[in-house]
Amino acid sequence: MNLVINNYEKIKSNINNSNINIIAVSKSFEFNHIKPLVDYGHKHFGENKVQEAKYKWLKIKKDIPDLCLHMIGKLQSNKAKEAIEIFDYIHSVDTIKLANLLSKFEVILNKKRKYFIQINLGNEKQKNGISVDNLDNFYNHCVKDLKLVIVGLMAIPPKNSEASKYFKILMELNKGLGLKELSMGMSGDFKEAIKFNTTFVRIGSAIFGGRS
d(CA 157, CA 165) in angstroms, rounded, equals 9
pLDDT at position 109? 97
CATH of the domain at 13: 3.20.20.10
**Domain residue limits at 161:** 3-208
* pTM (predicted TM-score): 0.95
How is 118-183 classified by DSSP, letter by letter? Answer: EB-TT--TTS-SB-GGGHHHHHHIIIIIS--EEEEEE--PPTTS-HHHHHHHHHHHHHHTT--EEE
pLDDT at position 114? 98
pLDDT at 81 over 80: yes
Q: How many structural domains compose the chain?
A: 1
pLDDT at position 185? 94
Q: How many CB atoms lie within 10 A of CB 210?
A: 6
> Nearest 5 degrees, angle CA 128-CA 133-CA 187?
40
d(CA 202, CA 152) in angstroms, rounded, equals 15
Query: What tens digit of pLDDT does each residue of 42-66 get?
Result: 999 999 999 999 999 999 999 999 9
Contacts (Cβ under 8 Å, ≥6 apart) of 24? 8, 34, 37, 42, 44, 45, 46, 203, 204, 207, 208
Query: What tens digit of pLDDT does each residue of 127-183 get?
Result: 789 999 999 999 999 999 999 999 999 999 888 778 999 999 999 999 999 999 999
Query: What tens digit of pLDDT does each residue of 91-137 get?
Result: 999 999 999 999 999 999 999 999 999 999 877 676 789 999 999 99
d(CA 42, CA 66) in angstroms, rounded, equals 10
pLDDT at 212 over 70: no
